[in-house]
Structure 1
């Protein structure tokens, strides 16, 4: 697999672990540091469609201006929420990984295994010392 993209925040441990796990599996993804280069509105919509998610479910609350902006108020339309995500890319949950096998938010980091080709990835040790053992059981 050569075509993979990760929407990455290097300050996020889950994002760092996901990127390291991709590389451990022999995949060098295109790394998009979305805080520096936010996805366009069209790209956000395409990601949401590919993940079969609504805009609200992609909003990150922890460590963001979510509460300060009052985004829990149902008055905000999807288009308005996309505006907020464009203005404050930190509101986007991360990491998002896109491969030929699909697109998803990879929280926890081992969720990325579902986007990799069938075949075992060697055991991987996360930053916190936890070990991810790929049994291949989650993939067809």
Structure 2
């Protein structure tokens, strides 16, 4: 079963989502996205698969969101993506990828929506 979690071990919600995946019988591929951020192309692909906007994935709390002025609604998506590439902490987490889709799992229990049943 190919499940990927873009994870921050310092985040309680991310740790809970990871635990729920493992409790379901799946050992996911864990990407600590602050150490190994997704490329811009991958991030755009994940956004498209999740049907989220760039703003939907933009994290405010505990990030340079305010100091970068990213709350301005006139900032284009390309500039928001630039900021996410420069500051991966701006990418909200946990983002989970499975054969059933891509979902920002906040709250963590949302991960259950995209976990395929484990056979055997």
Query: How does the TM-score come out when normalised to structure 2?
Result: 0.95
Pairs aligned (count): 118
Counterpart in 1 of 2:22? 23
Q: Which has the larger radius of gyration?
A: 1
Correspondence list, 1:83-102, <5 A: 83-102=82-101
Aligned ranges 1:36-47 → 2 under 5 Å: 36-47=35-46
1:56 aligns with 2:44: no
1: CA distance between counterparts of 2:79 and 2:116? Answer: 37
Cα offsets for 1:67-103 (capped at 9, x unmatched): 1110011232111110100000000110000000111
Measure, in 2, the Cα distance between the counterparts of 1:75 and 1:52. 21
Normalising by structure 1, what TM-score?
0.81
Alpha-carbon distance in 1 for matches of 2:73, 2:108: 30
Q: Where does structure 1 differ by over 2 angstroms across 4 or more consecutive aligned residues?
A: none
Q: CA deviation at 1:118?
A: 4.7
Q: 2:52 and 2:114 mapped to 1: Cα distance? A: 17
Equivalent runs, 1:93-132 vs 2, <5 Å: 93-118=92-117
The DSSP-based 3-state class of the residue aligned with 2:112 is helix
Output the CA distance in 2 between the equivalents of 1:98 and 1:108: 16
* Alpha-carbon separation, structure 2, partners of 1:77 and 1:116: 33
For structure 2, the 5+ residue unaligned runs are none
Compare the two structures and name the one with the higher helix fraction: 2
